[in-house]
């Protein structure tokens, strides 16, 4: 029988900490700075009373963690999911700090979450949860304090509710309090596609680095939400061959490649389960799809998919992390041994927060950019950051993930030294 992964391996906070420790050690980070950056700045738990449609009250538990404000206001998504924990939100907040530093945008890191299952709640219930959660956080968030965005289980509509609730409390419309808003409410062109576009740009760069052609390059994408589906569509259009896909209902593998626009129509326009796609291939579980033959693997769903128990089975040459934390810390060494070229989450999925930054800039200026301008600037940031991480890895003889952490920690620590500690 296959051994079961140890519980600690699956604690994302410990996974994040393990990488932080290795990187901090390689950097020779002084003890005081190490302690400062290891712990979050602030954490809040909110109990959110909500009237359900059936007339009863329920109390939902929500969190917001500010990891760092050293390089600017906190930035990071809000997730609605049944398995949200404070430890997970802490890890995700720290990842936002490092992610913003890797792409060198002037934000710190934060994350929020509410324990709830959006698939079991009505629109009205979701709106009431969002509004009460936001109201409880009025003093914590703001364009200069902490700027939330969408994450798992939340979307443009959720952000519109956050924006409206915050604006009602401060008595003026404040679009820059959240990003990932609808276009008509101060959203940015290209924000919805940004994470997927960033994934593709990172993959393009990795192929150039490894001297592999893009046309016909086989890609498996796990997850068919915003990040997975946009990555699939953009990469399909660019000439990649999408041979594996998966969502919560299961996975499909087809070595001939999928007609991605037809698959999107099936899942999104017709609302059908992905594994039932008529022109599909072999049905597999969403986990099993990760281990099929391909050149590039894009886990774009949830955490802890590639672990010490299965990393040996990854066949891809390139792993580009569209999700946050899809690979556990013990799996890193196995991937390294196998020679997999890893584009870590804090680089690979940073396209989303990069365009969030553009959205925040546009909201504050009251001047909006064309889609082409947004995409061009995103490309520039992603390509430059990719080059910096790879250069760092080569200069320090470490893998790309540790290089990305080192680059990020170094930037935050440098800013912290310049600011000094207020006492
Ligand atoms: N939730 C996304 C992430 O994890 C986006 C965050 C943002 O745009 O602030 O990167």
Could you read off the pLDDT of 25-37 as tens digits, one per residue? Answer: 999 999 999 999 9
What strands lie across the sheet with 218-222, from one edge to the other? 282-284, 250-253, 241-247, 218-222, 296-299, 318-320, 341-343
Q: How far apart are CA 135 and CA 131, in angstroms?
A: 6
Q: Is 353 in the pocket of ligand 1 (CB under 6 A)?
A: yes
CATH fold of the domain at 192-348: Rossmann fold (3.40.50)
Separate counts of helices (H) and strands (E) for the chain: 13, 12
- β 57-68/250-253 pair status: unpaired
Q: Is 108 in the pocket of ligand 1 (CB under 6 A)?
A: no
Cα→Cα distances 7→12, 206, 308, Å: 10, 33, 12
Q: How far is the CA of 129 from the centre of ligand 1 (A)?
A: 20
Q: Is 349 in the pocket of ligand 1 (CB under 6 A)?
A: yes
User: Which of 103, 145, 180, 348 has most ligand 1 atoms within 8 Å of CB, for mutation?
Assistant: 180
**What per-residue confidence (pLDDT) applies to 6?**
56
Q: How far is the CA of 332 from the centre of ligand 1 (A)?
A: 23
Residues recognised as catalytic: 111
Q: How far is the CA of 76 from the centre of ligand 1 (A)?
A: 5
Q: How far is the CA of 78 from the centre of ligand 1 (A)?
A: 8
Q: How far is the CA of 151 from the centre of ligand 1 (A)?
A: 6
- H helices of 112-155, in order, are 123-136
The CA radius of gyration of the chain, in Å to the nearest whole number, is 21
Q: Residue 8: which region, alpha, beta or left (left: phi > 0; alpha: psi -120 to 50)?
A: alpha
Q: Is 151 in the pocket of ligand 1 (CB under 6 A)?
A: yes
Q: What is the DSSP string of 254-268?
A: -TT---HHHHHIIII
Report angle CA 173, 177, 178 to the nearest 5 degrees.
115
Q: Is 352 in the pocket of ligand 1 (CB under 6 A)?
A: yes
Q: Is 76 in the pocket of ligand 1 (CB under 6 A)?
A: yes
Q: Same topology for domains 41-189 and 192-348, yes or no?
A: yes
Residue 351, token pair as written in the block: 């396209």
Could you read off the pLDDT of 376-415 as tens digits, one per residue? Answer: 999 999 999 999 999 999 999 999 999 999 999 999 999 9
Ordered by start, the domain boundaries in the chain are 41-189, 192-348
Instruction: Please report the atom of ligand 1 found closest to the CA of residue 147.
Output: 9
Residues of the chain with pLDDT under 70: 1-7
**What per-residue confidence (pLDDT) applies to 5?**
54
Q: How far apart are CA 327 and CA 382, in angstroms?
A: 21
CATH fold of the domain at 41-189: Rossmann fold (3.40.50)
């Amino acid at each position: 029988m296959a051994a079961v992964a140890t519980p600690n391996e699956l604690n994302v906070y410990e996974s994040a900490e393990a990488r932080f420790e290795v990187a901090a050690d390689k950097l020779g980070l002084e003890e005081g700075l190490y302690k400062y950056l290891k712990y979050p700045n602030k954490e809040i738990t909110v109990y959110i009373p909500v009237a359900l449609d059936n007339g009863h009250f329920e109390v939902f538990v929500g969190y917001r963690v500010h990891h760092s404000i050293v390089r600017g206001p906190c930035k990071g998504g809000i997730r609605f999911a049944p398995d949200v924990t404070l430890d997970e939100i802490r890890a995700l907040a720290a990842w936002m700090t490092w992610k913003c530093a890797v792409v060198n945008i002037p934000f710190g890191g934060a994350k929020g979450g509410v324990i709830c299952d959006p698939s079991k709640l009505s629109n009205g219930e979701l709106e009431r949860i969002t509004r009460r959660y936001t109201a409880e956080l009025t003093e914590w968030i703001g364009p200069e304090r902490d700027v939330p965005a969408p994450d798992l289980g939340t979307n443009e509509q959720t952000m519109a509710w956050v924006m409206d609730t915050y604006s009602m409390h401060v008595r003026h419309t404040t679009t820059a309090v959240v990003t990932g808003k609808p276009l008509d409410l101060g959203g940015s062109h290209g924000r919805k596609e940004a994470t997927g576009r960033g994934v593709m740009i990172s993959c393009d760069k990795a192929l150039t680095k490894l001297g592999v052609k893009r046309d016909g390059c086989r890609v498996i994408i796990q997850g068919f939400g915003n990040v997975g589906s946009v990555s699939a569509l953009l990469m399909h259009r660019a000439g990649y061959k999408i041979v594996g896909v998966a969502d919560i209902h299961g996975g499909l593998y087809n070595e001939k490649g999928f007609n991605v626009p037809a698959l999107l129509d099936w899942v999104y326009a017709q609302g059908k389960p992905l594994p039932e796609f008529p022109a599909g291939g072999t049905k597999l579980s969403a986990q099993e799809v990760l281990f099929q033959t391909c050149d590039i693997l894009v886990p774009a769903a949830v955490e802890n998919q590639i672990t010490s128990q299965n990393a040996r089975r990854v066949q891809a040459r390139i792993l580009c992390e569209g999700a946050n934390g899809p690979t556990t810390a013990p799996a890193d060494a196995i991937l390294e041994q196998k020679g997999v070229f890893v584009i870590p989450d804090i680089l690979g999925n940073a396209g989303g927060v990069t365009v969030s930054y553009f959205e925040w800039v546009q909201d504050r200026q009251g001047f909006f950019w064309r889609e082409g301008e947004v995409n061009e600037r995103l490309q520039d940031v992603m390509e430059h950051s990719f080059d910096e991480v790879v250069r760092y890895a080569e200069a320090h003889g470490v893998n790309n993930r540790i290089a990305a952490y080192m680059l990020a920690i170094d930037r935050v620590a440098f800013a912290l030294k310049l600011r000094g500690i207020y006492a």
